[in-house]
Chain A
Amino acid sequence: MNRRQLIKHGAWFGAAVALAVAGGEVVSRVVDADAPDPFPKDATLRFVQVSDSHIGFTGPANTDVAGSFHRAVKQVNALKHRPDFVLHSGDLTHLATPAQFDHVKQMTSELKAGRVVFVPGEHDSIDDAGQKYRAAFGKGTVGDGWYSFDLQGVHFIGLVNTLNLKKLGHLGEDQIAWVQRDIAGLHSDTPIVVFSHIPLFALYPAWGWGTDDAARVLQMLARFSSVTCLNGHIHQLFTKTEGNVTFHSATTTAYPLPKPGQGPAPAPVTLPAGKLQDALGIREVGYVRGRAGLAVRDQKLA
């Protein structure tokens, strides 16, 4: 990146930025607006991640979270390629009420995709250990709502790390044992994609942004050549590579949270007028057979 590009990058609102992750380093550069769309056109599989819709939230940080999520749904439906599925990575609702779950169900039913899969956030399992969540969205899951499926040679695992919390996210013995059984028969060349709401790495433990027993699952996944972990919870983009694993935190469709440790608590941030939309977004993920790793593209809310 030369100096001019760096300056352009510094004022990147409205600019296109490409990030390349290689060996744990993230390199960003400004993309020529006339350049062809670099998202892999030859993808064998495409899906979309949306996260943290917080339906039911009322506050100055976003006075219309339902409207924002509806725009995200329309944005997904307007993609050039119909996604094989859409993942909602948790905090569907703000207070886990039946009416809020119904609202989410109704809105996600409008998504034009092969299917819609979910993992719960702590806001979806506030006072009933996730019972209402599983009643609404847990069909086909086992245990406390975890599941796996295969698509185009990729193995997807949906984890629940918002129950029995002590400080951080938590998976628990039953779920860890289930993962061990689930992956036992897989060839090490199988690309693995793991969904969870709370990050599986220690992003900022003081605010609970980590999972206390995730290392045991990551250890089991060490033999696989490509592991991608997708999470929500922190309402901002963040990426990190550790060995064979790349973690991608998604942004939200509702409201931003502070950067780790900025401010006294992870409380909703009210942005200046007109800036909220830039902090919200959706994510496309593509897999090209034979290529290590997945292509990830984050878009601001249209």
Chain B
Amino acid sequence: MDAASGARAAGLAAGGALILFAAVACGGGGGKAAPAASPMGGMKMPSSSAAQAPPAAGPNEVSIGGFAFGPAKLTVKRGTTVTWTNRDEDPHTVTASATGGPRSPALVAGASFRFTFTKPGTFTYICTIHPFMHGTVVVTP
């Protein structure tokens, strides 16, 4: 068994209406982005659950924080078990693009996932919920 999943996670008030008529007949739209006046127009952002990716706690550990994997690239020897821990409030996953790599369930805040790499190679992975998060594990013989 390649994977050792140690995931712990197993009335229409007229006064409040925003009205928008889309008239797209004028063919040459020009592609200008035009943000709609939204209820968030005057929004302040007093808090956000994102944090800077904290340093990993150990040599074979990856910390997930601030919507990033830290370290983003990890090199381990074949047979090594790597542990990912989610330090964000948002859930994340560790999902390898290739078969034979790690594929975690959703990791909620504080949850961990372990995977033992039994074959050498380069494994790239993403978070399926936030696919702009990328990580790599290089497994040496």
Contact = CB atoms under 8 A, between A and B. Distances in A.
Contact of A265 (B31, B33, B66, B131): B66
B118 interface: no
B22 A238 contact: no
Interface residues of A, number: 92
Contact of A251 (B39, B50, B126): B39
A59 B19 contact: no
A269 B20 contact: no
B19 to A, nearest CB: 4
Contacts of A242: 29-31
Contact of A246 (B22, B35, B91): B22
A59 B49 contact: yes
A108 interface: no
B108 A95 contact: yes
A13 interface: yes
A297 B18 contact: yes
B129 interface: yes
27 contacts: A12-B42, A16-B19, A18-B21, A19-B20, A23-B26, A24-B26, A37-B14, A59-B89, A75-B12, A127-B105, A127-B128, A207-B130, A208-B132, A237-B39, A238-B36, A243-B28, A244-B29, A258-B45, A259-B40, A265-B50, A267-B88, A268-B49, A271-B44, A272-B44, A293-B25, A294-B22, A299-B18
Interface of A: 9-26, 28, 31, 33, 37-39, 59-61, 75, 78-80, 94-96, 122-123, 125-127, 165-168, 205-208, 225-228, 236-246, 248, 251, 256, 258-259, 262-272, 275, 278-279, 281, 292-300, 302
Interface in B16-66: 16-50, 52, 66
B85 interface: no
Q: Chain B interface: which size bin?
A: 35 or more
Contacts of B31: 24, 240-243
A238 B130 CA distance: 20
Given A21-B22, A266-B67, A79 B39 contact: no
Q: Which 9 A-B pairs have the closest CB atoms?
A: A265-B67, A265-B50, A165-B131, A23-B26, A237-B38, A292-B25, A24-B29, A26-B34, A293-B22
A239 B11 contact: no
Contact of A21 (B23, B66, B132): B23
Contacts of B13: 299-300, 302
A16 B37 CA distance: 11
